[in-house]
Amino acid sequence: MIVDHYLSGARQVCSPNVDTRPGGEISLVVLHSISLPPGVFGGDDIEALFTNQLDWDLHPFFQSIRGLRVSAHLLIRRDGGCVQFVPFDQRAWHAGRSRWQGRQALNDFSIGIELEGDGRAFTHAQYERLAQVLLALEYRYPHIDARKSVTHEQIAPLRKTDPGPSFDQQYLEQLMTG
C-alpha cells in the first residue's frame, strides 16, 4: 500500500538527490540493479551513495564513481526488505541520459527501483517484493502499467546493462498475475 507517496513497510532514508517533477506525471517504472562495491551485498554503501555520504576511499572501485550524485525511489534488498529514498511524487535521479518510446528526461515521469544485485541471479524474495510493489504502484498511480516496467538497459542501451541478463521478467509477470 502507498500512503502519501510512501510505500508502507519500507524503511525511509531521505536522499538529498531529489527535486520536483515537472508536470507531476508518473507513468513509468525503471528497474535497475546495484551492488557496492560490485559483488558485495548487505552493506551500507548503497544507502551512503544515495545520501551523498559514501566514503570514496573505502574501496578502490569507489574512485570510479567519486562525486556521483544519484538516487532511486526504492531499493529492494536481497531479503526482500525495502528502503525508500525519495517519495514517489518527487523526481529521483536514477535514469540519467536515456530514451524510451521517443521520450527523453525519463526521471521527470518515472519511478526508479533498484534491486540489490550485480547482474547475476536475484532472489525469490526480491521478485516477490518487486511484484507487490509494482502492483501497489499501478493501483496508486493510474498511468502506470505494472507489466510494462522497463530496465535501465532498455532505456540506455549503449551505456547501461542493468539489471542484467539474469533478470527474469517472465517470472516477475507470473508473480503479478498470481
Question: What is the pTM (predicted TM-score) of this model?
Answer: 0.97
Q: Give the model confidence (pLDDT) of 128-152 as tens digits.
A: 999 999 999 999 999 999 999 999 9
Q: Active site includes 47?
A: no
- CATH number for domain 2-177, candidates 3.40.80.10, 3.10.50.40, 3.40.50.10800, 2.40.30.170: 3.40.80.10
User: CA 122, 49, 93: angle at the middle one, nearest 5?
Assistant: 85
Residue of 25, 47, 114, 153 marked active site: 114
What are the tens digits of pLDDT across the range 22-43?
A: 999 999 999 999 999 999 999 9
Distance CA 21, CA 128 (A): 29
Question: Tens place of pLDDT for every residue, the chain, 178 residues?
Answer: 999 999 999 999 999 999 999 999 999 999 999 999 999 999 999 999 999 999 999 999 999 999 999 999 999 999 999 999 999 999 999 999 999 999 999 999 999 999 999 988 899 999 999 999 999 999 999 999 999 999 999 999 999 999 999 999 999 999 999 7
The structural domains of the chain, with segments of one domain joined by +, span: 2-177
Cβ(73)–Cβ(112) under 8 Å? Answer: yes
